[in-house]
Amino acid sequence: MAANGLNLCSFFIFAFLIINGAKTKPTVGIFPPSCNRIECPKFEVIEANNGYEIRSYDSPMWMSTAPIDDISLVNATRTGFLQLFDYIQGKNEYHQKIEMTAPVLTQVSPSDGPFCATSFVVSFYIPKENQGNPPAAQGLHVQKWGKTLAAVRQFSGFVKDYDVAEETAALYASLEGSKWFDAIRKAPTADPTTTYTVAQYNSPFEFDNRVNEIWLLLDVKDYFGM
């Protein structure tokens, strides 16, 4: 495992991007318009700074796919989205339809294997009314995060594989030297989100006001000990 929790493949990508400078403007504090129409997990902003904000999420719950191995986040997200869309349309143990929510998360765990193969877990946020007893489904599982802290960077447009690497590198760079950087490195390594997570808030059919985010999870004990 390379420095700061990154694997060898992603480490060189991020180092190249940081040295050469990310070409996107740092953005934070944009409220996703889709959250005015559909349910999104609630959070509190702990700190907003140049290029990032620190959020506290109160025990969000997600319905998630099994790991999807691919070299493309875009392709893996599409595969996982279709499984989860079938789930909310009633392909579950209770044959129950469930409301669409946002964001769609893609948890990214790069490996050290050939061609920078990567493992992706795609998730839908479970609505509050279904969290007490979410219906099970083959190939899917529930993630209960507990209280969660995340460093977040926002970007617009349709998500592309190269953009994700660039935005993640820029988020790491903006956090260096802050009190939050060590908290990211100390986050539990067993959790795949300790690498990074991509959050997408818009339907594929929406072309304007698109909001996407990179999340880096922090060690909660470090925060409450500060």
Residue 224: the pLDDT is 56
Cα(201)–Cα(186) distance, rounded to whole angstroms? Answer: 28
Residue 197: the pLDDT is 96
Number of residues assigned to the chain: 226
Q: What is the signed CA dihedral for 169, 186, 151, 35, rounded to 10 degrees? A: 120
**DSSP H helical segments within the chain, as ranges?**
8-20, 73-88, 161-175, 181-185, 220-224
Q: Are 168 and 159 in contact (CB under 8 A)?
A: no
Cα(20)–Cα(190) distance, rounded to whole angstroms? Answer: 31
SS3 57: strand
* Phi, psi dihedrals of residue 188, rounded to the nearest 5°: -55, 125
> What does each of the 226 residues of the chain score in pLDDT, given as a tens digit?
333 444 445 444 444 433 344 444 546 789 999 999 999 999 999 999 988 999 999 999 999 999 999 999 999 999 999 999 999 999 999 999 999 999 999 999 876 555 667 899 999 999 999 999 999 999 999 999 999 999 999 999 999 999 998 999 999 999 999 989 888 866 654 343 448 999 999 998 999 999 999 999 997 775 655 4
